[in-house]
A and B are shown apart, each in its own frame.
Chain A
Amino acid sequence: DAGITQSPRYKITETGRQVTLMCHQTWSHSYMFWYRQDLGHGLRLIYYSAAADITDKGEVPDGYVVSRSKTENFPLTLESATRSQTSVYFCASSPSGGNQPQHFGDGTRLSIL
């Protein structure tokens, strides 16, 4: 089915570990985004990508790494996880960025112990 899927849905890991969150979309949307949702902050943009091999920092990029070798995939890596990165992470995509509404995945709940 067409859509945007995130995996895993839930992840528990320890501080200092590397963890990668996956995002896959089947719409061939050019733009993809990663957000984190924390109580009181709404959603905050971590990184986004306008196309394969083009990425840009968002509001809270520190501690995260992204790549986009294929249009449909946009993985987010925490190279050395910290407790402050415990959050719910959402991936989104849109056809052309700008004012175009973004379509969100169902999120990954990440707990770092």
Chain B
Amino acid sequence: DQQVKQNSPSLSVQEGRISILNCDYTNSMFDYFLWYKKYPAEGPTFLISISSIKDKNEDGRFTVFLNKSAKHLSLHIVPSQPGDSAVYFCAAIRNAGNMLTFGGGTRLMVKP
């Protein structure tokens, strides 16, 4: 049973618009969440993270929102650029843990 789920396998967005990628989790013990971005034939690279004591974290064009009561987080990219086209993974970790649990990924395509 997947503890972290990304229900949209793909998302297509026009350049300049907002991209919203969603992630749901079931394990209430998770208290830190990360987003990774992956290009083909490369390893994932860290993008942004959020602690469960916050509900928002922003870094440039990227903002992550956390709704603990709904066990839901989302990644907003504004404005979207063609170079943002990649697979995005959300991941979660428990307090004092070392094991990241990943979602299945969402492929984002940003059209020029």
Please report A residues at the B interface, Cβ cutoff 8 Å. Answer: 4, 31, 33, 35, 40-45, 48, 50, 56, 58-59, 90, 92, 97-99, 101-107
Q: Is B32 an interface residue (CB 8 A)?
A: yes
Contact, CB under 8 Å: B96 / A102: no
Contact, CB under 8 Å: A48 / B98: yes
Interchain Cβ contacts under 8 Å between A and B, 27 examples? A4-B43, A31-B98, A33-B100, A41-B2, A41-B104, A42-B4, A42-B89, A42-B104, A43-B44, A43-B91, A45-B99, A45-B100, A50-B98, A59-B99, A90-B43, A97-B98, A98-B98, A99-B32, A99-B93, A101-B34, A102-B100, A104-B36, A104-B43, A104-B44, A104-B45, A106-B41, A106-B43
**Residues of B close to A101: CB separation below 8 A:** 34, 46, 49
Using CB atoms, name the residue of chain A closest to B90.
Answer: A42
Shortest distance from the beta carbon of A63 to any chain B beta carbon, whole Å: 18
Q: How far is the CA of A48 from the CA of B6 in the complex (A)?
A: 24
**Residues of A close to B99: CB separation below 8 A:** 45, 48, 58-59
Q: How far is the CA of A50 from the CA of B98 in the complex (A)?
A: 9
**Residues of A close to B101: CB separation below 8 A:** 45, 59
Contact, CB under 8 Å: B49 / A106: no
